[in-house]
Amino acid sequence: MIRLENVTRLFDNVAAVDGFSLEVDQGEVCVLIGPSGCGKTTTLRLINRLVEPTSGTILVNGRDVSRTKAEVLRRSIGYAIQSVGLFPHMTVGANIGVVPGLLGWGKERISARVNELLELVGLEPRQYAPKYVSQLSGGEAQRVGVARALAADPPILLMDEPFGAVDPLTRQRLQVQFLRIQRKLKKTIILVTHDLDEAIRLADRIAVMQSGRLVQHDSPERILASPANKFVHDFVGVDRALKRLSRISVEEFIRPTPSVTTSATREELSAAIGGHRSVWVVDGDGRPIGWIDRASLRDPGQLNDITVRADPAEMYVTGSDTLHGALSRMLGLGFKSLPAVDDNGRLIGEITLGDIEKATARGENMDHV
Amino acid sequence: MFKRQGRRWIVLAVLTAVFVILLFQMGWWEAALRTIFSRDDVLYPTASLIALVGEHMKLVALSSGLTVLIGVPLGIWVTRRSGQSFLPIVTDLTSLGQTFPPVAVLALAVPLFGFGLVPTVIALFLYGLLPVVRNTVAGLASVSRETLEVAYGMGMGRLQALMLVELPLAVRVILAGVRISVIINVGTAMIGAVIGAGGLGSPIIAGLVQFNTAYVIEGALPAAVIAILLDRFLGNIEKSLAFSPGERNG
Predicted confidence (pLDDT) per residue in B122-175, tens digit: 889 988 898 999 999 999 999 988 889 899 999 999 999 999 999 999 999 999
What sign for the dihedral angle of Cα B115, B116, B119, B120?
A: positive
Share of chain A above pLDDT 90, in %: 40
Superfamily covering domain B2-249: MetI-like (1.10.3720.10)
Chain B nearest C-alpha distance from A174 (Å): 21
ipTM for the complex shown: 0.75
**Do residues A80 and A159 touch, judged by C-beta distance below 8 A?**
yes
Residues of chain A contacting residue B243, judged by C-beta atoms under 8 Å apart: 88-90, 132
Task: Provide the angle, in degrees to the nearest 10, between the axes of the packed helices B213-240 and B26-37.
Answer: 120
Please list the residues that pair with B135 across neighbouring strands: none
In this complex, do B146 and A134 lie within 8 Å of one another by their Cβ atoms?
Answer: no
> What does the alpha-carbon distance between residue B39 and residue B212 come to, in Å, rounded to a whole number?
9
**Chain B interface, mutation test: which of A87, A92, A135, A192, most B Cβ atoms within 10 Å?**
A87
Report H helices in B80-101. 87-99
Q: Residue B165 carries which DSSP code?
A: I
**Do residues A37 and A93 touch, judged by C-beta distance below 8 A?**
no
Query: Which residues, other chains included, contact B206 with Cβ-Cβ below 8 Å and sequence gap of 6+?
Result: B44, B46, B212, B215
Task: Provide the angle, in degrees to the nearest 10, between the axes of the packed helices B167-188 and B49-79.
Answer: 140
Residues of chain B contacting residue A99, judged by C-beta atoms under 8 Å apart: 154-155
> What does the alpha-carbon distance between residue B199 and residue A96 come to, in Å, rounded to a whole number?
52
In this complex, do A132 and B149 lie within 8 Å of one another by their Cβ atoms?
Answer: no
In this complex, do B246 and A134 lie within 8 Å of one another by their Cβ atoms?
Answer: yes
Q: Which helix (H) or strand (E) holds A43?
A: helix A40-47
In this complex, do A71 and B150 lie within 8 Å of one another by their Cβ atoms?
Answer: no
Query: Which residues, other chains included, contact A362 with Cβ-Cβ below 8 Å and sequence gap of 6+?
Result: none
Predicted confidence (pLDDT) per residue in A353-364, tens digit: 888 888 877 765
In this complex, do B243 and A84 lie within 8 Å of one another by their Cβ atoms?
Answer: no
Predicted local distance difference test score (pLDDT) of residue B243: 64
At A265, phi and psi to the nearest 5? -85, 165
Q: Which helix (H) or strand (E) holds B151?
A: helix B145-153
User: Which of the four pLDDT bands, split at 50, 70 and 90, describes residue A365?
Assistant: low
> What does the alpha-carbon distance between residue B57 and residue B186 come to, in Å, rounded to a whole number?
8
CA geometry: angle B103, B108, B111, nearest 5 deg:
125
Nearest to B243 among A48, A88, A148 (CB): A88
Contact of B246 with chain A, judged by CB distance below 8 Å, is answered with: yes
Whole-angstrom CA distances from A138 to A79, A170, A181, A349, B88 are: 18, 9, 19, 36, 40
Predicted confidence (pLDDT) per residue in A290-343, tens digit: 888 888 877 777 777 888 888 877 788 887 788 888 888 888 888 888 888 888
**Chain A interface, mutation test: which of B154, B173, B241, most A Cβ atoms within 10 Å?**
B154
Compare all CA atoms of chain B with the CA of A160 and give the residue at the minimum distance. Answer: B150
**Residue A203: which of A247, A148, A242, A149 has the closest Cα?**
A247
Chain B nearest C-alpha distance from A322 (Å): 34
* Burial zone of B182 (CB within 10 Å; 0-12 exposed, 13-18 middle, 19+ buried): buried
Q: Residue A310 carries which DSSP code?
A: -
In this complex, do A99 and B144 lie within 8 Å of one another by their Cβ atoms?
Answer: no
pTM of the predicted protein model: 0.75
User: Which of the four pLDDT bands, split at 50, 70 and 90, describes residue A138?
Assistant: confident
Residues of chain A contacting residue B246, judged by C-beta atoms under 8 Å apart: 134
Predicted local distance difference test score (pLDDT) of residue A164: 81
> What does the alpha-carbon distance between residue B217 and residue B29 come to, in Å, rounded to a whole number?
10
**Residue A232: which of A246, A242, A222 has the closest Cα?**
A222
3-class state of residue A281 by DSSP: strand
Sheet holding A188-193, edge to edge: A77-81, A156-160, A188-193, A29-33, A205-210, A213-218
Nearest to A79 among B147, B154, B245 (CB): B154
User: Which of the four pLDDT bands, split at 50, 70 and 90, describes residue A218?
Assistant: very high
Report the helix count and the strand count for chain A, using DSSP H and E: 17, 17
Nearest to B160 among A70, A102, A135 (CB): A102
Q: Residue B197 carries which DSSP code?
A: -
Contact of B242 with chain A, judged by CB distance below 8 Å, is answered with: no
Residues of chain B contacting residue A160, judged by C-beta atoms under 8 Å apart: none
Contacting B with CB below 8 Å, chain A residues are 45, 48, 50, 70-76, 79, 81, 84-85, 87-90, 98-99, 102, 132, 134-135, 148
Spell out where chain B has E strands: none
Number of A:B CB contacts under 8 A?
Answer: 64
- Tell me the pLDDT of chain B (250 aa) as tens digits: 556 778 889 999 999 999 999 988 888 888 888 888 888 888 888 888 899 999 999 999 999 999 999 999 999 999 998 888 998 998 888 888 778 888 888 888 888 888 888 889 988 998 889 899 999 999 999 998 888 989 999 999 999 999 999 999 999 999 999 999 999 999 889 888 888 888 899 999 999 999 888 899 989 999 999 999 999 999 998 888 766 544 433 2
> What does the alpha-carbon distance between residue B125 and residue B120 come to, in Å, rounded to a whole number?
8
SS3 per-residue string spanning chain A = CEEEEEEEEEECCEEEEEEEEEEECCCCEEEEECCCCCCHHHHHHHHCCCCCCCEEEEEECCEEHHHCCHHHHHHCEEEEECHHHCCCCCEHHHHHCHHHHHCCCCHHHHHHHHHHHHHHCCCCHHHHCCCEHHHCCHHHHHHHHHHHHCCCCCCEEEEECCCCCCCHHHHHHHHHHHHHHHHHHCCEEEEEECCHHHHHHHCCEEEEEECCEEEEEECHHHHHHCCCCHHHHHHHCCCHHHHHHCCCEHHHHCECCCEEECCCCHHHHHHHHCCCCEEEEECCCCCEEEEEEHHHHHCCCCHHHHCEECCHHHHCEECCCEHHHHHHHHHHHCCCEEEEECCCCCEEEEEEHHHHHHHHHHHHHHHHC
**Do residues A226 and A364 touch, judged by C-beta distance below 8 A?**
no
Compare all CA atoms of chain A with the CA of B158 and give the residue at the minimum distance. Answer: A71
Residues in chain A, how many? 369
Predicted local distance difference test score (pLDDT) of residue B248: 36
Chain A nearest C-alpha distance from B68 (Å): 23
Nearest to A132 among B146, B150, B243 (CB): B243
Residues 127-146 in B contacting A (C-alpha not used; CB under 8 Å): 144, 146
Query: Which residues, other chains included, contact A112 with Cβ-Cβ below 8 Å and sequence gap of 6+?
Result: none
Q: Residue A132 carries which DSSP code?
A: B
